[in-house]
Structure 1
Amino acid sequence: MPDELNYVDWFRHSSPYINAHRGKTFVILIPGEAIECAHFSSIIHDLALLDSLGIRLVLVQGARPQIGRILSNRRLPSRVEDDYRVTPQDQLLDIIQASAAVRVQLEAQLSMGLSNTPMDGARLKVCSGNYVIARPLGVVDGIDYGHTGEVRRIDSEAIFRLLEDDNMVLLPHLGFSPTGEVFNLKSEEVALQAAIQLKADKLVIYSEEEGIFKSDGELYSELLTKDADVILKEKKLSTITHAALDACVQAVRQGVPRAHLISYNENGGLLRELFSREGSGTMIDEDSYEQLRPANIDDVGGMMALLTPLEEKGVLVRRSRELLENEVDRFIVIERDGAIVACAALYPFEQEHSGELACLAVSPDYRGSNRGERLLKGIEQAAKVLNLSTLFLLTTRTAHWFIERGFSETTLNSLPSKKQALYNYQRNSKIFSKAL
C-alpha cells in the first residue's frame, strides 16, 4: 500500500507538468550507446508515453559505437579529428549501413504493440527522410574530412507538417546535399540545429552520465549557461559529454527555452526529469527557473501549504486564509516551475523606521540550497526601499539560524509600541534584531 500511495502522490504532482508539456515540441538525441544499454526498451516506453501525452517528438539518432564496431570488423582505420570522424569515400557505405541498422532498430521498437506491455495500443507513426540538408566540412587545417559534413539547414516546414499529423519524426546523423551526396554528421549538431530551427521547447540529450557534476561530486540539477561556459573551458569532461553540454548551451543561447542532459543508464530518467520538481539530470538554462518575486493572491494556496505544517508544530503563529489573502502584499515567494517552495513577509513600522520579518518558510524538499538566505536578502532589500533602518523578528525555534546571519537578541522594549502590545507571553518568543 505505501508504494501505491507514493505512485498516486507522484502522479498527482506530475499533472502540472503534463499540462505544461502538452502540444510542445521536444528534440531528443538518442546516441548509439543508449540503443545498446540495458534500459533501451524502457526508453522506448517512455517515448511512447510522451507521445500519448500530446508531446510532439523529434528524435535524433546517433551511431558512434555501431560505426566503430563495423569499421573494426573490416579492419578499417577510425580517425577522429577535433571531435569529427573523418569519413573517407571507402568508409561511407559502412557508415550508412551502421546508421540504417540503428534506424531500423529504433523504428522496430517504436512499432511494438504487445499486450501487457507499456506499448499496448500505442500505434506510433514514425517518419524519417531527407529532412537534414548538409554540406561538406571540407579541408580544415590541412585535413580532408571527406564525406564528413555539417548541417546546412533543417527542412522544418516538412517536419512541422508531419508533427501536426501526429507523427513522430526520426532524424539520422546523416545529411543530404542538393548535389545528391551523403554526409556523416555529428548527432549533437543535428539535434542542436533541429531544436533551433524548429523553435523547439526543449532539447534533451541522453548521455552515459546523469548530467554535469560539481567538484565535490554533487549533481547540478540546474546549470546556467554562464556557469556551463566555465566548465567547458576547463576541458575536464569526456569528449562526448563535452559535445553534449556544448550543444545544450548553444541551443539555449539561440532561443530554446531549456535543454536537459540525462542518463540512458537510469531507468525512467526522462520521466523524472520532465515530470518531477527534482528531476534526474542537469537542466541548462539562460536564467534560473527559480524566481524570487512579490506574492499575489494566486499564491495563497501554495503559501498555506508551506506555513500550515509549521503552525501545527508551533513554530509559526497561525494565520487564516482570509488573513493571508488580506496581507498577501506583505509577502515574497520563491516559485519553482509553478510551485511555491518558499515564502517570507515584511511588516513595516514606518514611524519607528523598523520592520518585522515573519513567516519565513521553505518547503522541506528544498531546504539546504540557500533559499532561506535568498528570502532574507529579499526582505532586507524591500526594507531598505522603505527606508527602514532595523529588521526584527520573533522566534521560538530558529534563533541560531538568524544569529549566524547577523541578528542579535534584544528586549521587548526595543520593539515598536504596537508590536509590544501584541506580544504573546504564552509563546515566550525570543526577539532578535539587525541593523540594515
Structure 2
Amino acid sequence: MPDSLPTHPDSSAPLVPLRRAGRRMRRTRNFIFLKDVAALACTAFGGPQAHLAMMFGLLVNKRRYLTAAELLELQALCALLPGPTSTQTMTAIGFRLGGPNLAYLTLFIWCLPAVTIMTLAGLLLTRFDTAFTARLVQFVQPVAVGFVAFSAYRIAEKVIKTKTSVALLVAAAMVAYFFQRPGVLPLLLLAGGAVTTLRYRKHAIVQNKKPIRVEWANGALWLGVFLVAALLGHYTQLLPVRLFENFYRNGSLVFGGGQVLAPLLFAEFVEYKHYLTGPEFLSGLGLVQALPGPNFSFASYIGALAMRPVGGTAAQVLGAAVGAAGIFLPGTFLIFFVIRFWDSLRQYRVVKASLEGVNAVSAGLVCAAALLLYHPLPDRLLALPGAWAHAHQVSLPLNPLLVGFTFLLLLWEKVPSVAIVGAALLAGALL
C-alpha cells in the first residue's frame, strides 16, 4: 500500500527555508555595509561634501544600496536639521537598510576611528607632534578637492534635467560661495524646493497614499534628554554631567557642520570656562581637520582635556566619551524622528516636485564646496578667533595638478578611493 499523504499538510513548511535564506542574505548585506562604513570612516577626508563624494562612489555607484537621487534627498533632509550632516546621512542610510539597530551600529562605526584618535590626542597632548601631522596630510586636501569636484560632476549628471535645475545649481553655488553663514545652507535648500514646488502638476498623483503617521518617541527623547541634562547639570554641578549638557546643547542648535561648531566651542570652553587654552584648542582643531570621518569628533578631544582637573586617565576617557555622546546624540534622535514619516510625506506631488529643486541646490552646494576647499574666502572663517584664522590661511597651497589627477582617476573608475587617499598620505610621510 502506498504511503498516504498527511491529513493536514503544513503549507508553511516550504517557506521556512526561504525565510532563513532571506535572513542570512540580509545579515550578509548588513555586514558588508558596515565594512563599507568602516572603510569610509578611515578614508573620508575633507568634511561633509567630500564625505558625500565618497558615499556617492562607494554606496551608490559600487554597492547600489540606494540611488543618487535618494542619497541627495537624505543629505538635503539632514542638512535641514541641526547636527553633523554627514553623520546623520550615514545613519539614515543604515536606518533605511536595516532599521534602528543597523543605524546605531553605523553611527558607532562611522564615529569610532576619529573619536579614538581625538581621545588619544587629548591624553597625549604634550607628546603630540602636530607639525608631523600637518606634513603627513599635506597632499590630502587637494585630493579631497578632487573628490568633491568629481562628486559635483556625477551628481549634476544624475539630477540636472531641466533649465530650472541648471539655474538653481548655479545660483546656489554662487550664494554658498560668497555668503558662508550658518543659516544660508538650509535657507537655500528650502528656497530651491519652493521654486520647483510650483511645478507640482507635472507629477502623477499617487493613488492609495499611505497616511502620515508621526511617531513622537524620538522627538520627545531628544527634548527630554535636553531638559534632563540641563537640570542635572545645574543641580548636581558634576563636571561630566555639565560637559554632556554643554555638548548636547551645541549639537542640538548648530547648523552647518564643524566649521560653525568650532567658534561656539572656542567661546564656551576656552574664553568662558577655561577648560583648555587657546593653543590646545587650535592644535586639536588642526588635527581633526586632518582626520577622516566626522569633524564633530573634536568634542571628544575637548572632553578629555576638560576632565584633567578630576585627574587620571580614566576620568579623561570618560570626558571624551561624554563629549562624543553629547555632540552626536541630538542629531541622531532628530533624524530618527524625521525619517520615520518622510517616506509617507514624499508621496505628495508638492513634496515630490520640491525634491527637484532641493537636489539641484544640493548639487550647487557641492560645486561651491569644491571651490571653497580650493580657494577659501575670509568670510568662510565665520568670525573665528584671529589665531585660528591665521593658522587656517597659512596652510600649504593646493596643487591644481593633484586636484585634476584625482578627478581623472575617479573618472577612470579603475583605482579605489582608498588607494588614492593612501597614496596621498604616503607621499606626505615620505616628502
User: How high is the TM-score relative to the length of structure 2?
Assistant: 0.19
Larger Rg: 1
Higher relative contact order (CA 8 A, sep 6+): 2
Higher helix fraction (1 or 2): 2
